[in-house]
């Protein structure tokens, strides 16, 4: 269970860091090799009680997978570090060793069926089409402009679609923080609702939701596609091009987890000029919000987002564009100080779409 330290860095001349938590906290325990050693000690019974420092090292990780991609590239070893880190969290959670913040999220989901504990509901017109748009908690309650844009695209193109009357949280945050048992009811409900809808395709603007459906849900016999994949397959949809230079940020769940790198770029290039950043695709720097980090370690999350915004500016971009509500939320918050606009791909497509 060893992971070379080189997996934490990008092979540029500057040897740019790839591990946000290790770079921010500066201790080996926050890098992948340190977490592997913690997991070994846990499995071999060397840890009787968790210290605050141990819990921080385990949970202040976005589970972005950059270390795994770099290790795989160098050694060809399929180590699966993110899966191991999630398994470690599951092991800790089974012992009751979990952050209060993450417990509170589970309680909110149990009470309100969404990760933010919101009482109101995002309203959307729906039909009986073959396409079902799974909105997700963050696009419903924190960045609704993304959901609005996706729905407007459907309407402008005359595409019949459904949204779930009783859409529950997909359970991503529970799976990522080790609270697997708490997610089972959510999975069962959403599976039943999707089966009842008779939809053939489920479209996601949230890669975290899509990853959860791909990895943690049973096969429902429906096609799961990201919004950028859906837009690309439509072909020529008559969009104008903005006089704008944008950098594209690869969401970890979309890129490293789902392997979707080209579609967002191809769609984005139809509406803006795209500038490349130094850390892209498999080697992309994480926005800092995933894996339960945004809720528990917001200072770290915003620092990571700020680093990404600075990188976009260095590339000569005017705006930073992603394809994930959770990425946008964190990047947008950090951008208030950096004075840079942040968008989702579907927002720009909707702006440029004639209709």
Does residue 216 sit in the same domain as residue 260? Answer: no
The residue out of 201, 233, 265 marking a domain boundary is 233
Confidence of residue 111 (pLDDT cuts 50, 70, 90): very high
What is the span of the domain harbouring residue 310?
245-352
Rounding to the nearest 10 degrees, give the CA dihedral for residues 45, 49, 51, 56. Answer: 60
What CA–CA distance (Å, rounded) separates 49 from 66? 29
The residue out of 210, 233, 256 marking a domain boundary is 233
Over 60: is that where the pLDDT of 17 sits? yes
Confidence of residue 3 (pLDDT cuts 50, 70, 90): very low
Does residue 228 sit in the same domain as residue 256? Answer: no
Give yes or no for a contact between 42 and 92, defined as CB atoms under 8 angstroms apart.
yes
Convert the pLDDT of each residue in 128-171 to its tens digit.
Answer: 889 999 999 999 999 999 999 999 999 999 999 999 989 999 99
Over 80: is that where the pLDDT of 204 sits? yes
Does residue 260 sit in the same domain as residue 336? Answer: yes
Domain assignment present for residue 110? The answer is no
Does residue 268 sit in the same domain as residue 209? Answer: no
Convert the pLDDT of each residue in 241-269 to its tens digit.
Answer: 999 999 999 999 999 999 999 999 999 99
Q: How far is CA 175 from CA 166, 201, 240, 254, 305, in A?
A: 21, 24, 40, 17, 23
Residue 84 CA from chain centroid, whole number:
18
What pLDDT score was predicted for residue 1? 40
Half-sphere exposure of residue 276: CA atoms within 13 angstroms, side-chain side: 6
- Name the token pair of 126: 């729906």
Q: Which residue has the higher pLDDT, 231 or 31?
A: 231
Over 70: is that where the pLDDT of 221 sits? yes
Confidence of residue 40 (pLDDT cuts 50, 70, 90): confident
Does residue 229 sit in the same domain as residue 258? Answer: no
Rounded to an integer, the average pLDDT of 285-307 is 96
Over 60: is that where the pLDDT of 5 sits? no
Domain assignment present for residue 217? The answer is yes
Does residue 175 sit in the same domain as residue 224? Answer: yes
> Which CATH number fits the domain that encloses residue 289?
3.40.50
Does residue 226 sit in the same domain as residue 287? Answer: no
DSSP state of 252: T
What pLDDT score was predicted for residue 150? 98
Q: Which residue has the higher pLDDT, 50 or 290?
A: 290
Over 60: is that where the pLDDT of 58 sits? yes
Choice among 41-55, 254-268, 311-325 with the minimum mean pLDDT: 41-55
Convert the pLDDT of each residue in 332-349 to its tens digit.
Answer: 999 998 889 999 999 999
Does residue 58 sit in the same domain as residue 155? Answer: no
Over 60: is that where the pLDDT of 23 sits? yes
What pLDDT score was predicted for residue 79? 64
Tell me if the pTM is above 0.85: yes
Rounded to an integer, the average pLDDT of 10-18 is 64
Number of Cβ within 10 Å of residue 210's Cβ equals 28
What pLDDT score was predicted for residue 76? 60
Rounded to an integer, the average pLDDT of 199-223 is 97
Per-position b or e across 335-350, b if 16+ CB within 10 A of its CB: beebebebbbbbbbbb
What pLDDT score was predicted for residue 337? 86
What CA–CA distance (Å, rounded) separates 287 from 323? 12
Does residue 338 sit in the same domain as residue 267? Answer: yes
Does residue 253 sit in the same domain as residue 348? Answer: yes
Rounded to an integer, the average pLDDT of 287-307 is 96
What is the gyration radius of the CA atoms in the chain, in angstroms?
Answer: 20
Give the helix ranges, DSSP H, for 286-343.
293-296, 298-314, 325-338
Does residue 14 sit in the same domain as residue 83? Answer: yes
Domain assignment present for residue 341? The answer is yes
Over 60: is that where the pLDDT of 173 sits? yes
What CA–CA distance (Å, rounded) separates 279 from 255? 13
Count of domains forming the chain: 3
Over 90: is that where the pLDDT of 81 sits? no
Angle between helices 180-197 and 100-112 (to 10 degrees): 30
Instruction: Say what percent of the chain tops pLDDT 70.
Output: 92
Over 60: is that where the pLDDT of 187 sits? yes
Domain assignment present for residue 112? The answer is no
Q: What is the mean pLDDT of the chain?
A: 91
Domain assignment present for residue 107? The answer is no
């Amino acid at each position: 269970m060893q992971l070379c330290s080189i997996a934490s860095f990008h092979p540029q001349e500057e040897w740019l860091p790839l591990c946000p938590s290790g770079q921010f906290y500066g201790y080996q325990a926050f890098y992948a090799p340190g977490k592997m050693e913690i997991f070994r000690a846990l499995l071999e019974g060397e840890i009787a009680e968790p210290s605050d420092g141990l819990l921080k090292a385990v949970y202040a990780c976005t589970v972005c997978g950059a270390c795994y991609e770099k290790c795989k590239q160098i050694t060809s070893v399929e180590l699966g570090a993110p899966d191991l880190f999630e398994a470690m969290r599951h092991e800790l959670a089974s012992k009751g060793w979990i952050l209060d913040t993450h417990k509170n999220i589970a309680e909110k989901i149990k009470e309100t069926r969404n990760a933010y504990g919101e009482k109101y509901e995002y309203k959307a017109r729906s039909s009986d089409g073959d396409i079902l748009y799974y909105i997700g908690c963050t696009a419903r309650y924190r960045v609704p402009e993304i959901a609005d844009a996706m729905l407007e695209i459907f309407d402008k193109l005359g595409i019949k679609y459904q949204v779930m009357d009783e859409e529950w949280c997909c359970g991503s945050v529970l799976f990522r923080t080790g609270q697997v048992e708490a997610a089972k009811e959510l999975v069962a409900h959403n599976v039943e609702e999707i089966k009842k809808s008779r939809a053939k395709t489920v479209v996601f603007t949230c890669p975290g939701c899509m990853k959860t459906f791909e990895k943690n849900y049973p096969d429902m016999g429906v096609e799961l596609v990201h919004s950028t994949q859906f837009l690309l397959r439509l072909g020529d949809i008559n969009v104008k091009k903005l006089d704008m230079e944008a950098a594209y940020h690869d969401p970890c769940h979309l890129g490293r987890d789902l392997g979707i790198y080209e579609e967002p770029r191809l769609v984005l290039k139809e509406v803006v000029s795209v500038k490349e950043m130094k850390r892209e695709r498999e080697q992309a720097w994480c926005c800092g919000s995933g894996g339960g980090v945004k809720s528990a370690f917001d200072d770290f999350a915003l620092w990571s987002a700020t680093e990404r915004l600075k990188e976009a500016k260095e590339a000569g971009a005017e705006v930073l564009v992603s394809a994930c509500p959770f990425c946008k939320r964190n990047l947008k918050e950090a951008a208030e100080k950096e004075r840079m606009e942040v968008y989702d791909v579907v927002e720009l497509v909707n702006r440029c779409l004639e209709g």
